[in-house]
Structure 1
Amino acid sequence: MQQIFAVAVAGALGCLCRYGANVACVRWFAAPLFYSTLAVNVVGAFLLGLVAGLPFMQHPVLATGAAVGFLGGLTTFSTFSLETLRLWELQSFAAAGLNIAANVVLALFAVKLGLMTAEWFSST
C-alpha cells in the first residue's frame, strides 16, 4: 500500500514538473515545445541513473516512488534510456540498437496512428 501511495503522490509531482517545464520553455524562453521535451527526457534519464545508482534509493518505497512515480510522471524516456544503457554495458549491442530503433519507430508510428484515429473520430 505504501508503494501505491508513493507512486501516486510522486507521479502527481512529476506531472506538475513536466507541465512547469513546458510552461517555462514556451513563456520564459520563447522556445519551441520540443526543447522542453528533450530537456525533460534528458533530466529524467539522469535522475533515473541517480535513483538506480544511489544506495539509499534502493528502499522499495523510495525507489518505486521516485522511479515509477515521479520519473514516470515526468518522463518514461528515462526508463528506456536506462534499459538501453544496461544492454550496451552487457555488450548486447544488437539488442541495444534494436531497442533504440523499435522505441523510436514504433512510438512515431503509434503517434501517427493515434492522430489518424482522432481525426477519424472527429470526422464521423
Structure 2
Amino acid sequence: MNGLEVLALAAAGGVGAGARYTVDAIVMRGRGDAFPAGVLLVNILGSLLFGLITGLGAVLAPVWGGIIGVGLLGGFTTFSAVSLDSVLLAQRGRREWAVVNLAATFVLAVLAAVIGMVVGGLITR
C-alpha cells in the first residue's frame, strides 16, 4: 500500500467506527442495561460483509479489499466491546447473558462470515 491508500484505510476505519456507534445507539436507544444487541448486530453484519468482500476477492483489487475489509469493516466491528459488555453483564449478576453474548457473537459472526464468503463466491462465478 502506498501512503494515499493507507490514508484511505485509516479514513475508512473512522467511518466504520462512526457507523458502529450509530447502529449501536439506534438499537440500544432506551434499553439501558439490556442485552447488548446493538454490538451483536454490528459484529454479525460486519462479519457477513467481510465474508462477502473476501468471497469477491477474485474481482476486487486487493487494495480495495484492505480498505473496505480492514479499514471500514475493521472499524465497524468490535471484539473489545463484546468483551467489556460480557464482563459488565457478569458483574451485574447476569452471567447467563454474558455467556449468551459471547457464544452468540462467536457462532453467529462465524456463520455470517461463511455465508458472506459463499455469496461472494457465487457472485464471481
TM-score range, shorter chain: 0.5 to 0.7
Q: Which residue of 2 aligns with 1:39?
A: 41
Look up the match of 1:81: 110
Name the Cα RMSD after superposition.
2.8
Structure 1's unaligned 5+ residue stretches are 86-124
- If asked which structure has higher relative contact order (CA below 8 Å, sep 6+), I would say 2
1:56 partner SS: coil
Q: What fraction of aligned residue pairs are identical, expressed as a percent?
A: 35
Deviation at 1:81, TM superposition (A): 3.4
Alignment of 1:1-124 (within 5 A): 1-27=3-29, 30=31, 32=34, 34-54=36-56, 55-57=58-60, 59-76=61-78, 81=110
* Equivalent in the alignment of 2:120: none
Q: How many residues align?
A: 81
The structure with more helix, counted as a fraction of residues? 1
Specify the code of the residue in structure 2 equivalent to 1:36: G
Tell whether the 8 Å contact from 1:6 to 1:65 is kept in structure 2 after alignment: yes
Could you tell me whether the CA contact under 8 Å between 2:53 and 2:65 is conserved in 1?
yes
TM-score, length-normalised on structure 1? 0.55
1:36 deviates by 0.5
Seen in structure 2, the aligned counterparts of structure 1 residues 76 and 30 have a Cα distance that, compared at 3 Å, is closer
Q: TM-score, normalised by structure 2?
A: 0.54
Q: For 1:18 and 1:68, how far apart are their aligned partners in 2? A: 14
Q: Which residue of 2 aligns with 1:120?
A: none
Give unpaired runs (5+ residues) of structure 2. 80-104, 115-125
Structure 2 CA distance for partners of 1:30 and 1:7, relative to 1, 3 Å = same
Runs of 4+ in 1 over 2 A off after TM superposition: 29-33
1:90 aligns with none
Per-residue CA deviations over 1:15-61 (Å, capped at 9, x if unaligned) read: 0010001110122x74736100110010011001110011333x122
Contact preservation (8 Å) 1:3, 1:60: no
Q: Distance in 2 between matches of 1:76 and 1:25?
A: 16
